[in-house]
Copies of this chain bind each other. A is one copy, B any other.
Amino acid sequence: MTKRSYEQLACPIARSLSVLGDQWTLMIVRDALMGVRRFEGFQKSLCLSRNLLTRRLRHLVEEGLLTKEKIHGSRRFEYCPTQKCKDLLGVLVTFSEWGEQWCPDPEGPLVDIRHTVSGKAVGMRPLLLENGTEISPAEVELAQLREKDS
């Protein structure tokens, strides 16, 4: 991915987006977390151009979100999500919830996020970190702590 002008800024949202903020990267991550492992699998699922997929997969490997590993008993390889990639589940859950609420599809959801043990649907809720009490999003505020460098 291109170097972004905000890449070295001290904002964690900006830093995340400098890694993940292009057209396809989060879709590739979504597919990887759904079990897609190979080049043709991503290409058929997403219908993006093959040379761009090559670049995006390379980028995700460089950023440590995927590993390129030999498939057991074969000389081919597969792309496996790392913990860094799996930790994007929360991002995907919040995107999914927002999409369900604000861009609903009459046919209902295609992707479903469930607890493997109980089989129940999973959602995200903001919490106070210290004691775990749930609070209202309306009571939450984003603030800038200090001036940016440039």
Contacts and interface: CB of A to CB of B under 8 A. Distances in A.
A126 B97 CA distance: 12
Given A87-B102, A128-B118, A107 B13 contact: no
A112 to B, nearest CB: 5
B26 A23 contact: no
Number of chain A interface residues as a range: 35 or more
A89 B140 contact: yes
Contacts of A70: none
Contacts of A129: 120-123
A5 B47 contact: yes
A95 B17 contact: yes
A125 B124 contact: yes
Contact of A126 (B93, B135, B144): B93
